[in-house]
């Protein structure tokens, strides 16, 4: 399924997520919610592309031997849209998968491997943007961006998390990690990383919590247990409901909206491959994520509202100034 939420800033762009879902309805809801988040993500970053997302819903008993054929069929769907939607990696897909999708979906596929003419994984620049966001959050909370001695809990050591962890360690932070993949857990243990069991994440004391796994982790139950000062992480749709932003504010926990802080990968991949940016230009744009975080936190503090509302206001102002077209969901299903 491909959900195009807005082309007001340009053609719809967003990653392809591939994973099992409990139902096709759940997959459709995820695609639409993710596409809506991309609208705010690119608008908040002042990036000249529209907003969309794709979901490939795998059956529970998926045989990965059919992966190539499935990805090529998806590439055909992308190409049929003639540029309405351009894609890249997301949860469950990689730069190598983009190579495969590109065999039938080019020129609308980005984030391919360097060998295939792409810019490679989007995870490192995503992690870099999150890191700049964490620095800005630390400055807001503690008066300086210095992370030395600060305890940061990273939830999820996948592509983004595994790049973010060493960045934080090099900055002198005390890093705690929670992960569910047994192979990754073993690798982290071998490296001497302090691990937190998944069911103890919310109740673990830390200065900054960085959710870098799947969404919905900030909900009524988990927020009541949180023992952190601030939140900034890469996971999409971290709030289970819109009311959870107010719950965080009421508890005095400063939340950096995910769509503000996790745009570094999309900005870099599309900027370099589609807009012809140099890596230096892309990194400068990713570094500006920290400036946007500071602007959002200052606006929320001045207004006395939630950071989620402040970030959306910033994005909506930029959308209102754009001359583009579609501002409502358009869903295209690839079928079975």
pLDDT score for 327: 53
Residues 146 and 82 in one domain: no
- Per annotation, catalytic residue among 5, 8, 17, 53: 53
Ranges of the chain with pLDDT below 50: none
Q: In terms of Cα–Cα distance, which of 317, 266, 248, 316 is closest to 119?
A: 266
Within 8 A by CB and 6+ apart from 202, the residues are 221, 222, 223, 225, 226, 227
Inside any domain, residue 283: no
Residues 8 and 66 in one domain: yes
pLDDT score for 61: 87
Question: Any idea of the CA torsion for 49, 237, 229, 286, to the nearest 10 degrees?
Answer: -20
- Token readout for 245 is 């932003």
Could you read off the pLDDT of 254-270 as tens digits, one per residue? 999 999 999 999 889 88
- Token readout for 88 is 């890249």
Active site residue 41: no
Residues 104 and 201 in one domain: no
Inside any domain, residue 157: yes
Which of the 8 DSSP states describes residue 109?
Answer: B
Rounded to 5 degrees, φ, ψ at 282 are -65, -45
pLDDT score for 289: 96
CA–CA dist 111, 269 (Å, integer): 6
Residues 161 and 305 in one domain: yes
Question: Any idea of the CA torsion for 7, 327, 331, 72, to the nearest 10 degrees?
Answer: 10
Residues 105 and 134 in one domain: no
* Range of the structural domain that residue 160 is part of: 123-263+291-309
Residues 133 and 175 in one domain: yes
Residues 174 and 201 in one domain: yes
* Residues 39-69: b if buried by 16+ CB within 10 A, e if exposed: bbbbbbbebbbbbbbbbbbbeeeeeeeebee
Alpha helix stretches (DSSP H) within the chain: 24-44, 67-80, 95-105, 123-142, 159-170, 182-190, 220-225, 243-250, 258-261, 264-273, 279-303, 307-320
Residues 305 and 199 in one domain: yes
CATH assignment at residue 36: 3.40.50.10860
* Residues 222-243: b if buried by 16+ CB within 10 A, e if exposed: bbeebebbbbbbbbbbbbbeee
Residues 106 and 144 in one domain: no
Residues 44 and 137 in one domain: no
pLDDT score for 93: 93
* Number of structural domains in the chain: 2
CATH assignment at residue 236: 3.40.50.720
Inside any domain, residue 279: no
Inside any domain, residue 277: no
Inside any domain, residue 162: yes
* Residues 153-190: b if buried by 16+ CB within 10 A, e if exposed: bbbbbbbbbbbbbebbeebebbbbbbbeeeebbeebee
Quick check: 193 and 164 in contact, CB under 8 A? no
Half-sphere exposure of 161 (CA within 13 A, CB side): 26
CA–CA dist 324, 333 (Å, integer): 24
Residues 214 and 131 in one domain: yes
Quick check: 75 and 97 in contact, CB under 8 A? no
Residues 90 and 136 in one domain: no
Q: In terms of Cα–Cα distance, which of 265, 299, 293, 295 is closest to 133?
A: 293
């Amino acid at each position: 399924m491909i959900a195009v939420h807005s082309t007001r800033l340009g053609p719809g762009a967003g990653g392809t997520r591939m994973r099992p879902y409990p139902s096709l309805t759940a997959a459709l809801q995820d695609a639409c919610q993710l596409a809506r988040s991309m609208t705010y993500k690119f608008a908040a970053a002042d990036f000249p592309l529209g907003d969309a997302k794709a979901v490939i819903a795998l059956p529970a008993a998926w045989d990965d031997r059919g992966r190539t054929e499935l990805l090529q069929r998806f590439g055909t769907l992308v190409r049929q849209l003639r540029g309405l939607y351009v894609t890249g990696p997301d949860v469950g897909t990689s730069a190598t998968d983009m190579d495969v999708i590109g065999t039938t979906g080019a020129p609308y596929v980005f984030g391919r491997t360097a060998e295939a003419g792409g810019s490679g994984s989007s995870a490192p620049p995503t992690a870099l943007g999150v890191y700049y966001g964490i620095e800005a959050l630390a400055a807001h909370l503690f008066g300086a961006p210095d992370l030395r001695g600060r305890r940061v809990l990273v939830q999820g050591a996948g592509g983004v998390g595994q790049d973010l962890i060493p960045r934080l360690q090099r900055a002198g932070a005390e890093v705690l990690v929670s992960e569910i993949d047994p192979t990754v857990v073993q690798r982290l243990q071998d490296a001497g990383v302090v691990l937190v069991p998944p069911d103890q994440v919310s109740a673990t004391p830390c200065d900054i919590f960085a959710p870098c796994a799947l969404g919905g982790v900030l909900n009524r139950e988990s927020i009541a247990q949180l023992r952190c000062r601030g939140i900034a992480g890469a996971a999409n749709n971290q709030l289970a409901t819109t009311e959870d932003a107010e719950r965080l504010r009421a508890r005095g926990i400063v939340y950096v909206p995910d769509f503000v802080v996790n745009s570094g990968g999309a900005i870099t991949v599309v900027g370099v491959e589609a807009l012809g940016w140099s890596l230096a230009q892309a990194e400068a744009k990713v570094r500006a994520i920290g400036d946007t975080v500071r602007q959002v936190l200052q606006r929320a503090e001045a207004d006395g509202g939630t950071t989620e509302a402040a970030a959306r206001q910033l994005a909506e102002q930029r959308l209102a100034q754009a001359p583009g077209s579609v501002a409502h969901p358009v869903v295209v299903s690839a079928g079975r």
